């Protein structure tokens, strides 16, 4: 079974690939004539009447043949920017999947080690679970049940599955449930970033994901208006921030879980 980190790295890779593809295809002009294209026509043995398109920049030279059935408008910036938008959507999906996997693997350990004290006292986290209830039969089942920690963890995970975790609130809630103290401060310190800037980038990214998915990247305040502008630098920052935060969170949780497992082993001895 893949660890949460391994699964995250697999899931974030497509977002990074979309950014790389954008950089490959980024161009000022799609060339359909000229000496370079004439030379390439000879090299590939294309007939004189075959339509060819050439794209090149400082890192890529590409030739599109007629049978590809792609119009030159597909290589305009307005079309290529959809790759950037999709990279943001993919990165947010990787974030949410990672947070769920992190809790699925580690929450039973936290509950077993800390017992009734596992649940954070933070009001925001408690509000996140205000509608989570246990029936009488479920409560009775927990009495003396050796698998009580796993049962409670699964109950919490099922509750969370109906909510979005791809936000700073989701990151904080996950870390707090896994006993990481002041997680947002610790993340900022570990990444050597200003906490306010880091959180704003994540919030902007998750909000942008919602705009892209639900309104074809129209602003929530103007859903019938034009698409919002997006740049490679903006998308790169969004994907990188999510990647770095998730990797840092994985390290923080791993350190905490090792401590809790040591406590469990000590008690059992």
pTM: 0.89
Burial code (b: 16+ CB inside 10 Å, e: under 16) for 185-198 equals ebbbeeeebeeeeb
Mean pLDDT over all residues of the chain? 90
* Two tokens, residue 85: 């938008």
Q: In sequence order, what DSSP letters do the residues of 9-46 get, joined into one string?
A: HHHHHHHHHHHHHHHHH--S--B-SSHHHHHHHHHHT-
CA dihedral 152, 154, 160, 165 (to 10 degrees): 110
pLDDT cut 70: percent of the chain above it: 95
Are the C-beta atoms of residues 164 and 96 closer than 8 Å to each other?
yes
Question: Distance between CA 133 and CA 137 in Å, rounded?
Answer: 12
Tell me which residue of 103, 122, 108, 89 sits closest to 160, measured CA to CA.
103
Residues 15-48 pLDDT 10s: 999 999 999 999 999 999 999 999 999 999 999 9
Tell me which residue of 241, 253, 99, 249 sits closest to 261, measured CA to CA.
253
Write the CB contacts of 200 (distance below 8 Å, at least 6 apart in sequence).
Answer: none
pLDDT cut 90: percent of the chain above it: 71
Q: Is residue 146 pLDDT above 70, yes or no?
A: no
Write the CB contacts of 79 (distance below 8 Å, at least 6 apart in sequence).
Answer: 73
Question: Distance between CA 206 and CA 266 in Å, rounded?
Answer: 42
Q: Average pLDDT in the 201-225 region?
A: 95
pLDDT at 30: 95
Tell me which residue of 139, 171, 169, 167 sits closest to 155, measured CA to CA.
139
Instruction: Locate the DSSP E strands across 99-161.
Output: none
Residues 60-89 pLDDT 10s: 999 999 999 999 999 999 999 999 999 999
CA atoms within 13 A on the CB side of 141: 12
């Amino acid at each position: 079974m893949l660890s949460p980190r391994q699964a995250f790295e697999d899931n974030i890779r497509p977002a990074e690939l979309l950014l790389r593809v954008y950089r490959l295809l980024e161009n000022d002009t799609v060339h359909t004539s000229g000496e370079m294209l004439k030379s390439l026509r000879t090299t590939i043995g294309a007939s004189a009447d075959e339509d060819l398109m050439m794209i090149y920049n400082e890192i890529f030279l590409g030739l599109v043949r007629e049978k590809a059935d792609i119009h030159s408008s597909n290589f305009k910036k307005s079309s290529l920017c959809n790759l950037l938008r999709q990279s943001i959507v993919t990165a947010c999906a990787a974030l949410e999947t990672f947070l769920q996997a992190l809790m699925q693997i580690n929450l039973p350990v936290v509950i077993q080690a800390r017992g009734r004290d596992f649940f954070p006292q933070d009001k925001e986290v408690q509000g996140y679970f205000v509608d989570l209830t246990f029936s009488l039969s479920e409560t009775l089942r927990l009495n003396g049940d050796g698998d009580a920690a796993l049962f409670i963890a699964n109950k919490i995970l099922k509750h969370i599955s109906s909510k979005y975790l791809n936000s700073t609130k989701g990151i904080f809630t996950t870390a707090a449930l896994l006993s990481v103290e002041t997680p947002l401060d610790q993340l900022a310190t570990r990444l050597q970033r200003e906490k306010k800037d880091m959180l704003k980038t994540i919030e902007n990214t998750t909000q942008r994901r919602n705009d892209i998915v639900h309104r074809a990247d129209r602003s929530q305040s103007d859903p019938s208006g034009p698409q919002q502008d997006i740049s490679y630098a903006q998308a790169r920052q969004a994907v990188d921030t999510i990647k770095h935060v998730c990797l840092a969170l994985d390290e923080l949780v791993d350190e905490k879980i090792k401590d809790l497992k040591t406590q469990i082993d000590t008690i059992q001895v």
